[in-house]
Amino acid sequence: MEILPTAIRLGTWAAYLGLACGVLYSVGGLVADTLTTGLNWGTAMAFLALVGMPALAGSAGFLVGTLIALAARGVSTALKTLRR
């Protein structure tokens, strides 16, 4: 298992998931603020989730993908040495 392609693939999927969560959070916050207190600073901060959530989720996904690929490579190497 190659490390960089695995990390990029998982980071991309996590960023898309973060984008979906950011859109839901932003739209939900907009609807809730519109129906209750009106648009305010909290609404603007909710829309910052469109940038923040994909960035954080993508970074976490890249890190987890790297760790998974390194672990898989380590297990593969260990199994190869045991078979010899």
DSSP per-residue string spanning 5-69: HHHHHHHHHHHHHHHHHHHHHHHHHHHHHHHTT-S-HHHHHHHTHHHHHHHHHHHHHHHHHHHHH
Residue 1 has a pLDDT of 76
Is 25 a domain residue?
Answer: yes
Is 16 a domain residue?
Answer: yes
Residue 38 has a pLDDT of 85
The total number of structural domains in the chain stands at 1
Per the prediction, the chain carries an average pLDDT of 93
Q: Give the pLDDT band (50/70/90) at residue 63.
A: very high
Domain that holds residue 63: 3-77
Is 82 a domain residue?
Answer: no
Residue 43 has a pLDDT of 85
Compute the average pLDDT of residues 9-29: 95
Residue 19 has a pLDDT of 96
Is 8 a domain residue?
Answer: yes
Residue 14 has a pLDDT of 97
Q: Is the pLDDT of residue 62 over 80?
A: yes
